[in-house]
Chain A
Amino acid sequence: AQRVTQPEKLLSVFKGAPVELKCNYSYSGSPELFWYVQYSRQRLQLLLRHISRESIKGFTADLNKGETSFHLKKPFAQEEDSAMYYCALYNFNKFYFGSGTKLNVKP
């Protein structure tokens, strides 16, 4: 069965520090993986997808099939990055979400 695990419920860093939000998945095939973000009082929205290998708002995420991970990284966190982040796996017409990590960037 597909499963997405985000081990950290809360991650607090200072502004300018590097940040890494962890995501591990269990899936036997070639996964489609995404990061979604929910800022305060806003709806959930797509941040980035692994297949496009893009950098959005300074965030990147690399798919590591050997470790079955898709960690989200940013070298220098900003206060506006404070939000709830969800890792998601898409397979057979369904999205499976992790439990989410709340990122708090302190001034």
Chain B
Amino acid sequence: GNSVTQMEGPVTLSEEAFLTINCTYTATGYPSLFWYVQYPGEGLQLLLKATKADDKGSNKGFEATYRKETTSFHLEKGSVQVSDSAVYFCALSEDGGTASKLTFGTGTRLQVTL
């Protein structure tokens, strides 16, 4: 079956530091890949996505590249802010026809301090 593996957190960084959160996946076929972010007390929000190999998703300074050869979709940001503190989830989507059946990683908590 499909699976997503994320680096364990928490990740603690100082403001303006470089961020990498690793994500690797196992899937049959050609899934779409996503990063979602969950702020405290809220639901998940889509951060970025990539639908095929070598696609780069980007949003709000965050980037991730769909690497089929290494089955990875690592999240990066050049300079984090305190407001980026949240839990980040990597996910893949099987083509379920009329539904997106997302398989999530376990989430990585990011804490950014001044």
Genuine A/B complex: no
